[in-house]
Structure 1
Amino acid sequence: MKIRRLLMSALLPMTCLCAAAQQGEDNTPAKGDFTVAATLGYNSYTEATALPGNLTDYEAAAFATDWSKKKLTVGFEAGYFVSDKWKLSLGGGINFTHNPGYADKPGTMTPGMSGEDMVGEIPSYRAVASQYSCTYNVAAGLDRYFSSSVKNLMWYGGVRVGMAYSLNEQKYDEWTAMGKSVGESWSLRGALTIGADYYVMKGMYVGASVDPFAYTYNMTSFRPQEGLARLSADSSNFAILAAPTVKIGFRF
């Protein structure tokens, strides 16, 4: 009963908007219009984490680009109608993070100590790594719009290509550290996209989209300590009905 009420409360406003739009003016876009939208959807970009440089064995694994294992992602998308039916779009984001490092604090325990000898002894505190991280992603698309039987509702099909890059550097201030460790990861993605936009008014629209097919290639590499060669791993991901996304946008 509660589910039915929730569905009715969500569908009723949309039904009223559609009915009002059928009787109102044409709000669909035209050549020369710009759009800016906030997006919310499941997708995968890339991420890197440097390996600490005081291990005895190193191993690498490619970043998982399976979109269904990702959390919701908020993004932005800008578009330009080169004609009444064709639209170019561009989206992405960038962020930087710095974590200050702190030196280690030696304890009173000695190697090999066990049992009753450990009573009253203080363990050592490891250093906090000084870290720098940078991540960005960018995607471009081309969409062909089509009219529908519902006024101010347009559906589209198109293609998307994108790239994502992530860098993480870590350095520990302790005697066992072997210098700065670096992790890098980048992804290339191509996808077919279908979706629909409903123009609530001249300057505002809501929409949804999904990728019927998407391919992502990822390369992840690590340099565990200074002077060592890179340790790399790569992966290829094929997805069907990937990256479902909803958006709310404005037209200028």
Structure 2
Amino acid sequence: MKIKKLLILAALPMIGLAANAQEKGPQKNDFTVAATLSYNNSVMGEAAGRSSSYKLEAASTNWNDKNLSVGIEGGWFFLDEWKLVLGGGMNISKRPGCVGLPGSGYEYGDVPEYQAVDDETFVQFNVYTGVDRYFKTKVDGLYLYAGARIGYAYGRNSSYTDDEYSMGKSIGEAFNIRGALTGGVEYYITDGLFVGAQVDPFAYTYNSTLIKPQAGLSNLQAKNHNFGILAAPTIKIGFKF
């Protein structure tokens, strides 16, 4: 009888470990935070310089044309197998300008002209949200998921040059609106640490890019539509709490 009790007591920790292993992964009301490595989906409309004519091309929305970018993604499991996703980022830069200085002439030995430095401000941000449905697999800690995303990215560049040739402030703007179906896989190394990979089986992106070269002039605008298949592959590493 004593031996039987000892065997039961010895087996209890193993049973507990097995139960914990079966529960490894997300559950209702869990939160996740992950670092992502994917394409750069931000945009920037360049302001126009002084010119006798102005031309414009819409910013590319092809993910193959983008550089890799690190991002942050948060998630909330509002149900055991359903996750609400939210991510994004923002950047603001300022380049102070300088007044130009005239030179003494154009002959050898004269002091050259110092051209004015443009005063520029850059603003960029992007945000996206979506919902994923998770599916358990026979491998403990391994999950497949499928879902949808919608996102918005905006960029603005304003430029002003304080010299005799300046015609006022020039502004460039661009924005993307993107919708995508997505699918991926996540593996929970421990109950609180996971790695994953993701790709969009289908994605559509609309872009509008414009410049307002001078005050009082109408905008020059260009648009772009992009359809992507197996677009924007992403890898991630994150934590669940």
State the TM-score, normalized to the length of structure 2.
Answer: 0.88
Tell me the alpha carbon deviations over residues 47-74 of structure 1, each in whole angstroms, 9 at most, x when there is no partner.
111112x211011111111111111111
In structure 1, the gaps of 5 or more residues are 1-20, 111-117
Q: Percent identity?
A: 48
- For 1:240, the equivalent position in structure 2 comes to 229
Deviation at 1:25, TM superposition (A): 4.7
- The answer as to 2:161 corresponding to 1:172 is yes
Counterpart among 81, 84, 90 of residue 86 in structure 2: 90
Counterpart among 218, 227, 230 of residue 229 in structure 1: 218
Confirm or deny: 8 A CA contact 2:100 2:116 kept in the other structure. yes
Counterpart among 25, 28, 34 of residue 28 in structure 1: 25
Confirm or deny: 8 A CA contact 2:186 2:196 kept in the other structure. yes
User: SS at the partner of 2:38?
Assistant: strand
| Structure number with bigger Rg | 2
User: What is the rounded CA distance, in whole Å, between the counterparts of 1:25 and 1:239 in structure 2?
Assistant: 37
Deviation at 1:24, TM superposition (A): 4.1
User: SS at the partner of 2:64?
Assistant: helix
AA paired with 1:94? Answer: M
User: SS at the partner of 1:127?
Assistant: coil
- The answer as to 2:66 corresponding to 1:66 is no
- For 2:148, the equivalent position in structure 1 comes to 159
Confirm or deny: 8 A CA contact 2:42 2:155 kept in the other structure. no
- For 1:212, the equivalent position in structure 2 comes to 201
User: What is the rounded CA distance, in whole Å, between the counterparts of 2:113 and 2:54 in structure 1?
Assistant: 24
User: What is the rounded CA distance, in whole Å, between the counterparts of 1:145 and 1:157 in structure 2?
Assistant: 7
AA paired with 2:93? Answer: T
AA paired with 2:180? Answer: A
User: What is the rounded CA distance, in whole Å, between the counterparts of 2:26 and 2:172 in structure 1?
Assistant: 44
Deviation at 1:39, TM superposition (A): 0.7
Counterpart among 86, 97, 110 of residue 101 in structure 1: 97
User: SS at the partner of 2:180?
Assistant: strand
- The answer as to 2:27 corresponding to 1:38 is no
State the TM-score, normalized to the length of structure 1.
Answer: 0.85
- The answer as to 2:137 corresponding to 1:148 is yes
Confirm or deny: 8 A CA contact 1:44 1:66 kept in the other structure. no
Aligned-CA RMSD value: 1.9
Q: 1:43 to 1:193 in 2, by over 3 A?
A: farther
AA paired with 1:61? Answer: E
